[in-house]
Amino acid sequence: MPSDIVYQRPLFGGQISCTFPNRFQDVSEIRQVPDHQEVFADPSRDESLIVELLEFKPDVADNDSAVWFLQDLAREQDAEGTLVIEQSGVHEAPGLMYNNISAVVTTAVGQMAISKGRQGREAQNTVKVHLANLRIKGVDTDVLITAYEPIVINPFSESADAVGAGMAVPAAQAGCMPMDEVFKLAVTSFKEKRQKSGKGKRAREQGLKEGKM
């Protein structure tokens, strides 16, 4: 049985929050993180969870958006061997509503070979990437929740120093919540901070807009 303790984490100054295991450390406490991102990592398993706010991309269709962002991520990280393993349909997220417009969410899972930091292709690790795109059209925002799960660690990767090279240790064997469950929990628990007053609502919307890249 996984022994992870989970709790709700405030994000972007408390405007929104989501829930995931406390083994994921806030990366901003050890290095600088862009203002539009919240990054959490478990160094002992080389797993990470990233939440980011982006300007809404109106030219990307809802039913293709998660796959589009997954492939865009692969290009940004100079990934090789990218495969889309699965993708969901479009679902409404009525708990995330701005200006009377419900958010919609799509998810995709892929596999790719990527390097850590500035390491070259000779140090690429094979990872599974879980990505959700929450489209909050009422404030022109695309929210991405991305979870990285290592499959094979390259002996030349800096990750090998922390977790060892070769096949990653299964979560069940390590007594941890599997990364697909961590991802689902983070996505389904993602919510805004509720305010009763109109002033509070406007401040919340402004906070989301200002957090975007």
Can you give the pLDDT at residue 182? 97
Q: How many CB atoms lie within 10 A of CB 157?
A: 23
The CATH superfamily label for domain 6-202 reads: Mog1/PsbP, alpha/beta/alpha sandwich (3.40.1000.10)
Q: How many residues does the chain have?
A: 213
Q: In angstroms, rounded to a whole number, what is the distance separating the alpha carbons of residues 60 and 56?
A: 9
Cβ atoms 75, 194 nearer than 8 A:
no
Q: Is the pLDDT of residue 55 over 70?
A: yes
* Residue ranges of domains in the chain: 6-202
pTM recorded for the entire structure? 0.90
Q: What's the mean pLDDT in 40-68? A: 97
- pLDDT value at residue 199: 47
Q: What's the pLDDT tens digit per position in 70-79?
A: 999 999 999 9
Instruction: Calculate the average pLDDT of the chain.
Output: 90
Confidence of residue 96 (pLDDT cuts 50, 70, 90): confident
Structure-model confidence comparison of residues 199 and 115, the more confident one = 115
Which pLDDT does position 119 carry in this prediction?
A: 85
Q: What is the mean pLDDT of residues 158-184?
A: 93
Which amino acid, residue 56?
A: F
pLDDT for the residue numbered 194? 60
Instruction: Tell me phi and psi for residue 13, to 5 degrees.
Output: 75, 15
- 141: closest CA among 96, 195, 185? 96
pLDDT above 60: residue 201: no
